[in-house]
Amino acid sequence: MKNKFFEKKFLPIASKIGNQRHLLALRDGIMFAMPLMIIGSFFIIVAWLEAEWYQNFMAKVFGENWNAFGDIVYNGTMGIIALIAVFGVAYSLASSYKVDKKNIDGVPAGVLALAGYLIVNIMSTFTVDEESVSAWSPDLFSAQYLFLGLIVAIITAEIYRFFLQKKLIITLPDTVPPTVSRSFTALIPGFVIITLFLLLRYAFSYTGWETFATFIQEVVTKPFTILGSTYIGTLIASLLEHTLWSFGIHGSSIITSVMEPIWITNADANLAAVKEGKALPHIITYTFYENGIWMGGSGATLPVAIYMMFLAKSKLLKKVGRLAIGPSIFNVNEPIMFGVPIVLNPFLMIPFMLAPIAVLTVTYFGTAMGIFPHTTGTIIPWTTPYFISGYLMTGGKIMGVVMQLVAFAVAFAIWFPFIKMWDKKNLEMENASNNQGVSSSSSQTIQG
């Protein structure tokens, strides 16, 4: 009865949430910046790896300022995350709509979103050689203003698609080249979008916030960041993610589309602190969750893969273990999710939810007490093998590996009794099936 209730009531709602176009656009748009974040992080790890022996060796070989390239690459990769996300989210959201059964070309929406983003942000005044220079602060391009960029992108895409769907555009004959036609198509919605953000800029200059950017930072970014940076906020996100996964819905995709901007912003703040030699302000970052809590994938299932590979007695789990061990090393656990299975399995849903919560608890409070190091803010691929990621995400600290060893032991202790009982149950079913087959075969021989 419970399964029927979830199938009829819960799954349709969860599926709608999973396919919600704005959440998908946030996820896909931020993914535009992911290659730059990973490449930038690689150079930052090379430049700022905190291992003393490494820094001393590199300084002797290449000179005292050998790692100056770290700042240069950072500014050109991770330093422009907000700009890339603005374009990516507006492009992805606009492209998800259709006009005359064809997907909208999202490129103009992305370009207009970039223009709107720069319009709402007021230039700062800097003094260079005793002369005043007006320029946009570099902070506006980084993850610090990511929420502002996402809001501008969504507003732009929605206005742009509205004008296209209502045919409130300049239409040129089919003989006109597409690039020219695209430019004229964007004129009317573009004029409205630019005017709107210009009015927003002037309107907020008469408020206590003074700028639209400050308003978003105070009213949206800070509360969300505080919530997503806490143990409780992350615990809730983990519970929602794994509840959705338990019913076969890609919970990671849904939850990270909401939480990723927060965790990336935290990572950027930690990275800035590393550069300045200050204490790292955040425990919860992008890598803390995606390279720490995702041990072998959602549900901290790496211990399950290892158990099945080396300890399982049933044929089913042995076979799944051989198939799953490779992907699990790189944090891909679909073979386990659907092969064991964990999805729609009330018995295994328990450790699937408990293990990541336990890992989060141990690593969070261990870091808060100073036992484990903070993650430095570098973005490494979520497919980086466990233990290697612990070393890299903490800036080359062995205690980062120790943290993951402790987390692995905790997850294994939670998973072990459940997966052992599930293995025993499968073995009993296989033996019963074999005995039934033997008895059936014997009776046929006697009758013959």
Q: Is the domain of 211 the same as that of 103?
A: yes
Average pLDDT of the segment spanning 132-153: 85
Do both 207 and 332 map to the same domain? no
Residue 59 lies in a domain: yes
Residue 7 belongs to a domain: no
pLDDT tens digit sequence for 414-439: 999 999 999 999 999 988 877 765 55
pLDDT at 7 over 70: no
pLDDT band for position 381 (50/70/90)? confident
Q: Is residue 110 part of a domain?
A: yes
Find the distance separating the first CA and the last CA of the chain, reported in whole Å.
45
Please check whether residues 238 and 214 belong to one and the same domain: no
Model confidence band, residue 10 (pLDDT cutoffs 50, 70, 90): low
Helix (H) or strand (E) holding 135: strand 131-135
Token pair, residue 150, equals 């996402």
Q: Do 243 and 171 lie in a common domain?
A: no
φ and ψ at 434, to 5 degrees? -65, -40
Domain co-membership, 75 together with 103: yes
| pLDDT recorded at residue 1 | 46
Judge if 186 and 255 occupy the same domain. Answer: no
Give the pLDDT confidence score for residue 249 in this predicted structure: 76
Shared domain check, 216 and 234: no
Q: Which of 228, 259, 282 is the last residue of a domain?
A: 228
> Do 242 and 97 belong together in one domain?
no
Q: How far apart are CA 129 and CA 138, in angstroms?
A: 19
Q: Mean pLDDT throughout 137-142?
A: 82
Q: Does residue 443 lie within any of the structural domains? A: no
Which of 130-134, 340-344, 440-444 has the weakest average pLDDT?
Answer: 440-444
Domain of 430, in residue numbers: 230-437
> How large is the average pLDDT for residues 192-212?
92
Instruction: Concatenate the DSSP letters of all residues of 210-269 into one string.
Output: -SHHHHHIIIIIHHHHHHHHSHHHHHHHHHHHHHHHHTTS-HHHHHHHHHHHHHHHHHHH
Average of pLDDT values for 221-232?
Answer: 86
Pair (137, 276) in one structural domain: no
H or E element at residue 81: helix 81-95
pLDDT at 38 over 90: no
Q: What is the mean pLDDT of the chain?
A: 87
Confidence of residue 44 (pLDDT cuts 50, 70, 90): confident
Domain edge (last residue) among 172, 196, 228:
228
Please state whether the predicted TM-score (pTM) of the whole model is above 0.85. Answer: no
pLDDT at residue 2 is higher than 50: no
Assigned domain for 164 exists: yes
Single out the residue in 228, 261, 280 at which a domain terminates.
228
pLDDT at 365: 97
% residues pLDDT > 70 (the chain)? 93
Rounded mean pLDDT of 62-70?
88
pLDDT at 55 over 50: yes
For residues 236 and 341, membership in a common domain is answered with yes
Count of structural domains within the chain: 2
Give the C-alpha separation, 289 to 375, whole Å.
Answer: 10
Q: Are 213 and 234 contained in the same domain?
A: no
Which pLDDT value is given to residue 196? 95
